[in-house]
Amino acid sequence: QVQVVESGGGLVQAGGSLRLSCTVSGLTFDDYAMGWFRQAPGKEREGVSCINWNGATTYYVDAVKGRFTISRDNAKNTLYLQMNSLQPEDTATYYCAAVRAWDDLRLLVRESVGHWRPGFGYWGQGTQVTVSS
């Protein structure tokens, strides 16, 4: 059984930092590209960043470029998102996704989670990030 579990969320003041983690079990971690998404209340889930299987290639949406850093440790089956200079508009539930194909994941992050299709991969349950002004 595949499990995708996010952690590290919390309440932080504007300008602060958080590091999210996503631990995966039940699959071969380095067979999957990994991504971070977020969903604010009343809004659609949107892409944040993604990383290919070995960490050599990353992608960030413009809203987080220069502030967030994605990384992975394949030996620990864990994905990370270092978030610096957090702003109130970063407040959301953050989700981790494991996706078999890098091109599919990048499309999801860059365009829309509406491109998700059965068999793409797996989602976590999310971790809440709240940034106070």
Note the pLDDT tens digit of each residue in 35-44: 999 999 999 9
What is the tens place of the pLDDT at every residue in 90-121? 999 999 999 999 999 999 999 888 888 888 89
Q: Where are the beta strands (DSSP E) in the chain?
A: 3-7, 10-13, 18-25, 33-39, 46-51, 58-60, 68-73, 78-83, 92-99, 121-123, 127-132
pLDDT value of residue 63: 97
Cα–Cα distance measured from residue 67 to residue 84, given in angstroms and rounded to the nearest whole number:
5
Cα–Cα distance measured from residue 5 to residue 84, given in angstroms and rounded to the nearest whole number:
22
Cα–Cα distance measured from residue 126 to residue 57, given in angstroms and rounded to the nearest whole number:
24
Residue with structure tokens 């059965």?
A: 118
